[in-house]
Amino acid sequence: MPSPYRAIFAAPGTRSFSVAGFIGRMPLSMMGIGIVTMISQVTGRYGLAGALSATMAMSAAVLGPQVSRLVDRYGQRRVLRPVTLASLVAAAGLLVCVQQKAPDWTLFVFTAVIGCVPSLGAMTRARWAQIYRGEARRLHTAYAWESIVDEVCFIFGPIISIGLSTIWFPEAGPLFAAVFLAIGVFWLTSLSATEPEPHPSDGTSGGSALRSPGLQVLALAFVATGAIFGSVDVVTVAFADEQGHKAAASLVLAVYALGSCLAGAVFGLLHVKGEPARTWLVGVCAMAVSMIPLLLAGNLPLLAVALFVAGLSIAPTMVTTMALVEAHVPRTKLTEGMTWTGTGLAIGVALGSSAAGWVVDASGAEAGYVVPVVSGALAVLVGLLGYRRLRRPAPTREGQRERYDDGAVTAVGERGEHQDGGQPVA
């Protein structure tokens, strides 16, 4: 039987934009940790390093959806290239200021501008959505592939960034993150054949994509989900430090990402029946429950096993999230809609890491795992309260969503055909 992953790459241009998106997404996991490593090596001030990393995360959370909204309106090439140039100039300014020991406020200014870096994951997912419009199974596999790419970035990105900054020179991590960004964005935007059509007239009407009730639920749930990720990172580093093996923290966190990567690969091969909203809620609940064993891990090997199991629920939940965004947000605002979930994650990471740091300082690393447990519970609460909004039928770009006999939800095509061949039920 042919692989579903091989099938999605049968469409012309898909391999190129997928590779370009992968390269351009590496800074997502390299830049923040690269700044922390660079500043801590040059100045020895971890407080300043953390503050700069949080500044970049919050800047990206604010600017990211606005950039994606412009992309929906004017197209990827027209918007991404100047925005990326601004981010690259800011990164260069930051490196020069660090090297020249400029005042702290200059570091914050340049770091804030770096935050306008575009969401390459949203850009590639929007291309898949255009290519496989109405083909639910292939789009499911494509979103699973993108989740695998995300996790591969988070497995290798920090290792590359930290390694370059510690072995070569302090500024090497952020520098190479900027190089990856430039290559990825300019390559992606040169592939015009797969670029989604801009919607200049529709993009100015109806306000933000966040007006969608379903997207509001997903974005808010992702704030809590991001708090899980941010707190797990901080507490795991502190836990490894208490165990006397701080360097092992990167390997333990890589196992966390590996669990998600493998689960995403398997999930992409499956045709999951049932309502997407229900599948998503089950994933959120599984993610929350998987945090509890972290409280019981008394050493690094057990922690690695617990995190691997916890990672198994991440990618499937992310895949279903993108499918729900695609269902609840008008196609004219799809890129912005997908970026809002990333914004929720970024805000959550900042909040979670701050809360976890405070708990670790006050009560120790093991107690710090209470933060991801509480964050998981909040994500479940948001999911339960917003479940009816996610189930509520939403108009698609060409017509109305319909429910099929296997419980899946799809759309009526431009000429009224049912795209996946299912039989509608009353």
Whether 183 has a pLDDT exceeding 50, the answer reads yes
Q: Which whole number is the average pLDDT over 384-410?
A: 54
pLDDT at residue 44 in the model: 73
Whether 376 has a pLDDT exceeding 90, the answer reads yes
pLDDT in tens, 298-345: 788 899 999 999 988 888 888 888 778 877 877 777 777 777 887 888
Give the pLDDT band of residue 407 (cuts 50, 70, 90): very low
Instruction: Give CA–CA dist 205/193, Å, rounded.
Output: 26
pLDDT at residue 47 in the model: 67
3-state SS string for the chain: CCCHHHHHCCCCCHHHHHHHHHHHHCHHHHHHHHHHHHHHHHHCCHHHHHHHHHHHHHHHHHHHHHHHHHHHHHCHHHHHHHHHHHHHHHHHHHHHHHHCCCCHHHHHHHHHHHCCCCCHHHHHHHHHHHHCCCCHHHHHHHHHHHHHHHHHHHHHHHHHHHHHHHHCCCCHHHHHHHHHHHHHHHHHHHCHHHCCCCCCCHHHCCCCHHHCHHHHHHHHHHHHHHHHHHHHHHHHHHHHHHCCCHHHHHHHHHHHHHHHHHHHHHHHHCCCCCCHHHHHHHHHHHHHHCCHHHHHCCCHHHHHHHHHHHHCCHHHHHHHHHHHHHHHCCHHHHHHHHHHHHHHHHHHHHHHHHHHHHHHHHHCHHHHCHHHHHHHHHHHHHHHHHHHHHHCCCECCCCEEEEECCCCEEEECCCCCECCCCCECC
Give the pLDDT band of residue 394 (cuts 50, 70, 90): low
Give the pLDDT band of residue 346 (cuts 50, 70, 90): confident
Q: Which whole number is the average pLDDT over 377-395?
A: 81
Q: What is the topology classification, in CATH, of domain 207-408?
A: Growth Hormone; Chain: A; (1.20.1250)
Give the pLDDT band of residue 246 (cuts 50, 70, 90): low
- Residues 112, 225 contacting (CB under 8 angstroms): no
Give the pLDDT band of residue 263 (cuts 50, 70, 90): confident
Q: Which whole number is the average pLDDT over 153-173?
A: 80
* Higher per-residue confidence, 236 vs 403: 236
Whether 118 has a pLDDT exceeding 50, the answer reads yes
- Residues 57, 31 contacting (CB under 8 angstroms): no
Q: Among 207, 189, 419, which residue's Cα sits nearest to residue 329?
A: 207
Whether 80 has a pLDDT exceeding 50, the answer reads yes
Q: Which two tokens stand for residue 30?
A: 């390299």
Domain ranges of the chain: 15-133+169-190, 207-408
Whether 397 has a pLDDT exceeding 70, the answer reads no
pLDDT at residue 185 in the model: 92
Q: Which two tokens stand for residue 218?
A: 């997903």
Q: Give helix 213-242 / helix 370-391 axis angle, nearest 10°.
A: 170
Q: Which whole number is the average pLDDT over 228-252?
A: 79
Q: What is the topology classification, in CATH, of domain 15-133+169-190?
A: Growth Hormone; Chain: A; (1.20.1250)
Which single residue is written with the structure tokens 């165990």?
Answer: 243
Answer whether 15-133+169-190 and 207-408 agree in fold: yes
Q: Which two tokens stand for residue 301?
A: 């090997």
pLDDT at residue 231 in the model: 82
* Higher per-residue confidence, 162 vs 219: 219
